[in-house]
């Protein structure tokens, strides 16, 4: 099925370890996004990329990094995980930045 694929589906990680969340889309969308969703806070933008080769910081970028080497892939890296990064992470894409965003199924990450 075409769309956005996120991996892993869920992960338990020890604090201090590094982790890369993968996101791949096959819709040839130019823009991609990473959000975290926490109870009572809604979705918050971590990083975004309006086109391959460019990235930008969202509302909560600290502790996270991204890269956009090509159109399809937009990995999110936690260099040294902390318990406050326990969350559900959603990757999204849109054809252009001014178009509706389509979301992946999410990665549930627990940092212990």
Partner 1 sequence: GQNIDQPTEMTATEGAIVQINCTYQTSGFNGLFWYQQHAGEAPTFLSYNVLDGLEEKGRFSSFLSRSKGYSYLLLKELQMKDSASYLCAVRDGDYKLSFGAGTTVTVRA
**Residue ranges that bind partner 1, judged by CB under 8 A:** 33, 35, 40-45, 48, 50, 58-59, 90, 97-98, 100-106
* Token couple for 2: 């075409």
Q: Could you give the dihedral angle defined by the CA atoms of residues 55, 109, 103 and 30, in that order, rounded to the nearest 10 degrees?
A: 20
For residue 80, the minimal CB distance to partner 1 (Å) is 26
In terms of Cβ atoms closer than 10 Å to its own Cβ (0-12, 13-18, 19+), residue 43 is: middle
For residue 66, the minimal CB distance to partner 1 (Å) is 14
- CA triple 14-7-51, angle to 5 deg: 115
For residue 97, the minimal CB distance to partner 1 (Å) is 4
| Complex with partner 1: residue 9 or 28, whichever CB lies closer | 9
Q: Distance between CA 37 and CA 92 in Å, rounded?
A: 13
For residue 15, the minimal CB distance to partner 1 (Å) is 25
| Complex with partner 1: residue 35 or 64, whichever CB lies closer | 35
């Amino acid at each position: 099925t075409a769309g956005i694929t996120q991996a892993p589906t869920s992960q338990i990680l020890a604090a201090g370890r590094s982790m890369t969340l993968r996101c791949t889309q096959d819709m040839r969308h130019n823009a991609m996004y990473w959000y975290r969703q926490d109870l009572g806070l809604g979705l918050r933008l971590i990083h975004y990329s309006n086109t391959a080769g460019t990235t930008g910081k969202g509302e909560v970028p600290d502790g996270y990094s991204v890269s956009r080497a090509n159109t399809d892939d937009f990995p999110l890296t936690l260099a040294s995980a902390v318990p406050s990064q326990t969350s559900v992470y959603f990757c999204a894409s849109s054809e252009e930045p001014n178009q509706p965003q389509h979301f992946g199924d999410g990665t549930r990450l627990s940092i212990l």
